[in-house]
Each structure stands twice: as structure tokens, then as C-alpha cells.
Amino acid sequence: MLDKLKAISDRFEEVGQLLIQPDVASDMKKYKALNKEYKDLDKIVVEYKKYLNLLSNIDSAKQVISTEKDEDFRQMAKEELDMLLPQRDEMEDALKELLIPKDPNDSKDIIMEIRAGAGGDEASIFAGDLYRMYTRFAEKMGWRTELIDATEGTSGGYKEIIVGMQGEDVYGKLKFESGVHRVQRVPATETQGRIHTSVASVVVLPEVEEFDIDLDMNDIRKDLFCSSGPGGQSVNTTYSAVRLTHLPTGLVAQCQDQKSQLKNFDKALAVLRSRIYEQELAKKLEAEGAQRKSMVGGGDRSDKIRTYNYPQGRVTDHRIGYTVYNLPNVMDGGIDDFVEELRIAENAERLKEGATA
């Protein structure tokens, strides 16, 4: 492990020098890639230096124990060693986790798509509840959210809503939210007091930069239509809403949130770019035989991942068997525990893979 950490430290210094070179500063694509690598390596190097200092202190304590004749000094050194050795074990575990190869998309912003599934109006209301849950979580994290497109439900909530989120490690934290979410509760429209089960699907896509994917604008058909829903006087009077179709794949993205056709075009293009990127990435991984069907993050989008049971106040993540009984807090954006437990489970799987590789 020390050899690997030393190599990372050397690379960190090398990247630091590259970043101040004029030819790198003038190449935005190369600069952004190196700057991201520098930030990622910095976290490891900081802990590596702490680890080296700790090892040095352990060696010093052992030296005193083996050479010092004064019993008091030797006793002090033994006490210090007893304190340092558990710290070393903890730090080694932390460093092993830091050395797990990261998903290159973890640091990206995201586009989140929430769609009502089976359950009629109640499913749309639940989709709205999920949207509020994620935006409240984003607020707590200090992220910026941006509505891209929405189709409202007939009794509240949304049949479909697409939102962008920007901040630090957004995809890394929310990528495991993709899947089918199930709610069990008595709907407001239910007169007999019966518990209904409804579902909504969540898709989390990494928002990709222009240079992440080669997109030929000649392959994209642009259609304009009138906005519908809230939006003031310009709704249904100007062709500001934009629908983009990627002809080679048939993928479609649209945006009608902004009054400006240009802004709607940019947002729709960002969604389309992310959908094409995800599709190409899936094909690439499958071709390489590297599509991991992990317990946490490699399942199908149609997999039921979480249940929100209102009568019991219970939320259960079925992938890792993790349950909490504070549903109101979860629906108010308190999904921190799930985010952390899923991250731990994924890291444990990656460590296991590394050990058997």
C-alpha cells in the first residue's frame, strides 16, 4: 500500500507542475481534467502525509522501548504505542477506502428524472413527494437545483418532472437513487381508508460536458411547440418550448420551463447529451464484459429499490436491507443515512472485488 501511496504522491506533484504550464492553461479540456485529478489526489495525499507521520511516531516509541534504560520513559513510550497502534489500523482502513477506484462520473452534476408509475393520481402525488424530498436534500447539501421540464398530475404532483442539480459530488451521492420507489399509504382520495400501493421511478444521469461525448448536431431534429402549464402570458402564445430528437438512437428530450427558446434548447440539449452518454457507456461496459450486476448500483432500472410505508412510518432499502422508522424526516430530505449506507455497501463490494482480482 505504501508503494501505491508514494506513486500517488509523486503524481500529485507532477500534476501540480503541469497545471502551471502555459500550454495546459490554454487548453480548457486538458486543464479541467488535470484540475479534477489534482483535487482527487489531494484528498489522498493529505491522509498519506498524516499516515507517514503516525508511522514515524510508532517507530520512535518502539525505539525508546527497546533502547531506553529509564523505566519511566519506557512506560510512557508503551502507553503512547498503545494509543498509536489503533490509530494506525483506523488510518489504514480509511486509506484503503480512498484507494478504491472511483467512478469517474461521481464528481459530475446530475439530471434527475422522476416519473409516476402504477397507481394513478396517487402515483403522481408520490412523484411530487419524491421531488420535494430530493430538492430538500439538495438544499441541505448546498446544491443548486434547476427545473428542466414538468408535466403536472391531474390531482397534484407530477406525471413526470426533470430537474438538474449542481454542486460537489452530486452524482456520487445520488446515483444509487435510480430505480423504482414504492409507497404504501391511504390516499387522500380514498374514502374507505384502505392502504394503496403506488410506484414512481427515478433515473439519475450524470450531466456530461460537451467534450465528454461527440454529438453531431446534424443528427438532431429540433421541433418547436407552445409551452403548457404555468408561465405567464407567453404560455400557449409563443413557440418557445423545444423538443430535440437524436435520429440515430431515437432518444428524445424536451424543455418548456423557460420563456426563452434558446434557454430551453440548451437545457434540452443537456438532457439529450446525458441520455446518449449513458446509453453509449452501457454499450461500452457490456462490450468489455465489465457490466457489474452489483447488489447496490448495477441492477436494472425496473428493480424495486425502496419502500415508503406510511402507516408504519418505515422506509426500507431492499438492496442492502436497511430500514429506518423516521419516514417524515426522510420525506423532508433526510436521506443522508441511505446515501451513506449505500456508499459503504458499494465500497465493501469494490474492496472484495479488489481482493479476489
Q: What angle do CA 142, 146, 151 make, to 5 degrees?
A: 135
Q: Smallest Cα–Cα separation from 352: which of 288, 303, 292?
A: 292
The 10s digit of each residue's pLDDT in 305-342 is 999 999 999 999 999 999 999 999 999 999 999 999 99
Cα distance between residue 167 and residue 298, in whole Å: 24
Q: Could you say which architecture CATH assigns to the domain 1-99?
A: Up-down Bundle (1.20)
- The continuous run of DSSP H or E covering 332 comes out as none
Domain spans of the chain? Answer: 1-99, 110-210+292-355, 217-287
Q: Cell numbers for 295, please give them.
A: 447488489
Return the exposure string of 151-173: e unless at least 16 CB atoms fall within 10 Å of the residue's CB, then b: bbbeeebbbbbbbbbeeeebbbb
Question: Selecting from 3.40.50.720, 3.30.70.1660, 3.90.180.10, 3.10.310.70, what CATH number does the domain 110-210+292-355 have?
Answer: 3.30.70.1660
The 10s digit of each residue's pLDDT in 17-46 is 998 888 888 888 788 888 888 888 898 899
The 10s digit of each residue's pLDDT in 66-102 is 888 888 888 999 999 999 999 998 998 888 877 777 7
Cβ atoms 167, 144 nearer than 8 A? yes
Q: Cell numbers for 176, please give them.
A: 444509487
Cβ atoms 153, 121 nearer than 8 A? yes
Does 293 have pLDDT greater than 60?
A: no
Q: Smallest Cα–Cα separation from 204: which of 224, 173, 174, 169?
A: 174
The 10s digit of each residue's pLDDT in 299-314 is 445 678 999 999 999 9
- The continuous run of DSSP H or E covering 274 comes out as helix 261-287
The 10s digit of each residue's pLDDT in 221-277 is 988 887 665 444 444 456 778 888 999 888 888 888 777 888 888 888 888 888 888
Q: Domain 217-287 adopts which CATH fold?
A: Double Stranded RNA Binding Domain (3.30.160)
pTM: 0.70
